[in-house]
Amino acid sequence: MFFGKNNLFTYKTNVQVIILNAFTDICSIILMNMSGEQRTVIKGTASKYVKLNVGGALFYTTIGTLTKHDTMLRAMFSGRMEVLTDSEGWVLIDRSGKHFGEILNFLRDGTIPLPDSKRELMELQTEAKYYLIQELVELIESQIKAKEGVDPICRVPLITSSKEAEVIINSTPKPIVKLLCNRHNNKYSYTTNSDDNLLKNIELFEKLSLRFNRRILFIKDVNCNQEICCWSFYGHKQRIAEVCCTSIVYGMDKKHTKVEFPEARIYEETLNVLLYENRDRPDAELMQATMSRPSGGHGSDEEGEDREKRRK
């Protein structure tokens, strides 16, 4: 038989590919035999149990569960295709086992409670697509679309005692802004602009909560103490600043309660607590710098003395 140069080159190349593929198959067989792994066909009744090793996570379930829906798992465990097993009979599946328990629960019941996290929803959807579980894929897609149409929720704890405040402050690594607001604590009449200023403080608190709720924990305090409107700022579970918005002023014949709206100071202290964000431990110089400023807010010296007496 006569070969031209091009045909001879093509022939040699094809032979080399065949030899290389054969060598690869032989090596794979040798490695499988050394590790105890082998390919087998799983058959049995619906009540027969099989052992699954999914990415190192171990599961034990029935063939009936795995073949209940028309998925890739039905093809694997209905005898139609070979599966890889180890020396102890565990069926090896090269996927993450993080969500495989949820996959099995869906195969059993036809539904599962879906995770709240979008990231986990996406992870579960990836596994559902791999196993060709179309019903679960569609269920997750509808959940993701529903979440995309809803704005993030801003939760603000409402506390009624100093004990509750202590528990929350000590349980979060986030910086904290706390507004104590109790209009009914007043024993004197308010000055002209006090009601408006009290409302402005509340509105600013809500505005800051919506803007920074992912970075700062905002707390609303309705504890029945002597204060009426007071902002407190915490970093690493320590109070670093306080802005009191009330003071006692004197009229012609009686005392009045004055509520102020120190907007610039509130913004300043809110930005200061962000310095404590994402720190593993308190910074001594930072703590000293932010705590060295006077923590009191506004008002007369006499009112400040009255406040200190109430705290004692």
Question: In this predicted model, what pLDDT tens digit does every residue of 218-266 receive, in sequence order?
Answer: 999 988 677 889 999 999 889 999 999 999 888 777 888 899 999 999 9
The whole-number pLDDT of residue 251 equals 77
Q: Is 220 exposed, middle or buried (0-12, 13-18, 19+ CB in 10 A)?
A: middle
Residue type, 310: R
The whole-number pLDDT of residue 188 equals 78
DSSP 8-state assignment for residue 216: S
The whole-number pLDDT of residue 240 equals 93
Q: The whole model's pTM is what?
A: 0.47
Gap between the Cα atoms of 34 and 149, Å rounded? 54
Q: What 3-state DSSP class applies to 267?
A: helix
Question: Across 86-132, where does the E strand assignment appear?
Answer: 91-93
Give me Rg for the CA atoms of the chain: 34
Handedness of CA 286, 223, 218, 202 (dihedral sign): negative
Domain limits of the chain? 37-148, 158-311
Above pLDDT 90, what percent of the chain? 51
Edge-to-edge, what's the strand order for the sheet holding 246-250?
Answer: 189-190, 255-259, 246-250
The whole-number pLDDT of residue 32 equals 53
Q: What 3-state DSSP class applies to 220?
A: strand
Instruction: Name the band, by pLDDT with cuts 50, 70 and 90, for residue 304.
Output: very low
pLDDT tens-digit map of 126-176:
999 999 999 999 999 999 888 776 656 788 999 988 899 899 999 988 999
Residue type, 208: L
Gap between the Cα atoms of 182 and 186, Å rounded? 8
Instruction: Name the band, by pLDDT with cuts 50, 70 and 90, for residue 5.
Output: low
The whole-number pLDDT of residue 292 equals 52
DSSP 8-state assignment for residue 113: P
The whole-number pLDDT of residue 182 equals 84
Tokens at 94, concatenated: 């090269």
More confident residue, 162 or 298: 162
CATH number of this structure's domain 158-311, picked from the four choices 3.40.30.10, 3.90.1150.10, 2.60.120.10, 1.10.10.10: 3.40.30.10
pLDDT tens-digit map of 183-198:
776 677 888 899 999 9
Gap between the Cα atoms of 76 and 144, Å rounded? 30
CB atoms within 10 A of CB 54: 22
Helix (H) or strand (E) holding 61: strand 57-62
CB atoms within 10 A of CB 304: 17
Closest by Cα among 102, 49, 99, 103 to 73? 103
DSSP 8-state assignment for residue 54: E
The whole-number pLDDT of residue 299 equals 46
CA distances from 301 to 182, 197, 210, 249 (A): 22, 21, 35, 11
pLDDT tens-digit map of 43-97:
889 999 999 999 999 999 999 999 999 999 999 999 888 999 998 999 999 999 9
Gap between the Cα atoms of 196 and 245, Å rounded? 13
Handedness of CA 268, 273, 277, 279 (dihedral sign): positive
CATH of domain 37-148: 3.30.710.10
Tokens at 112, concatenated: 């599962």
Domain 37-148 and domain 158-311 have a common topology: no
